[in-house]
Structure 1
Amino acid sequence: MNWNTSSAFAPVGLVLRGRETHTVVRTLGDAAYLLIRDWPFDDGEEYMIAVKACIDAICGDVAPEQFREAFLRAADEAGIAALTIVH
């Protein structure tokens, strides 16, 4: 399992509602934590695809970049503003 993959996809900055107003997702572990714990809802189609893609990426079954694309679609579905962080 590859929880801390950070170089495989560009970090994503998200603007959330609630106690944390913004966060940066740098690793698959960060993404998994956010999807399971802090996502605003858990019944969207893109959300479910992103959760599965995250698990698949952690297990090495899909490329982290494929997960990132699914993650961005889920953010859009949830009305979460997402920004690519450039180093």
Structure 2
Amino acid sequence: MQWNTSADFAPLVLFFGGQQKRKIVRTLRDAAEVLMVDWPFEDGEEYVVAVKACADAITGQGGMNELRELLLSAAKEAGIAVLSVIPDSRSTTPHMAA
């Protein structure tokens, strides 16, 4: 699996804390970094599932779409606001999740 390619990962912007810190997740490396370095806590069920999906993607045993969806679930569980822009063949539509 290539760490720094974004072809299979629709970008996400995660907003952390009161300092308006934000992280853009475009690649597998970005996802791993946000989960291991930036995540506010490590005890959520959805968080643990997302970390496992990330490890699976790294080893080629899991897909990027699944990782992306699990990252969104973990963000929702943690109360992290997410901006998701999903490319469409006709337009780009922003989606907000909290």
TM-score w.r.t. structure 2 length?
A: 0.80
> Structure 2: which amino acid aligns with 1:9?
F
Alignment of 1:21-40 (within 5 A): 21-40=21-40
Structure in which a larger fraction of residues adopt strand: 2
**Residues 1:13 and 2:10 are matched in the alignment:** no
Q: Mark the runs of 5 or more structure 2 residues left unpaired by the alignment.
A: 88-98
Runs of 4+ in 1 over 2 A off after TM superposition: none
Over the aligned positions, Cα root-mean-square deviation in angstroms equals 1.6
- Residues 2 and 59 in structure 1, CA contact (< 8 A), matched pair in contact too: no
Distance 1:60 1:18, change over 3 A: farther
How many correspondences in the alignment?
A: 87
Match of 1:45 in 2: 45
TM-score w.r.t. structure 1 length?
A: 0.90
* Higher gyration radius (CA): 2
- Residues 15 and 22 in structure 2, CA contact (< 8 A), matched pair in contact too: yes
Give the whole-Å Cα distance in 2 for the aligned partners of 1:64 and 1:86.
14
Q: CA deviation at 1:35?
A: 0.6
Match of 2:71 in 1: 71
> Structure 1: which amino acid aligns with 2:8?
A
- The structure whose RCO (Cα within 8 Å, separation 6+) is larger is 1
> Structure 1: which amino acid aligns with 2:75?
A
Paired-residue identity, %: 54
Structure in which a larger fraction of residues adopt helix: 1
Q: Mark the runs of 5 or more structure 1 residues left unpaired by the alignment.
A: none
Q: CA deviation at 1:72?
A: 0.4
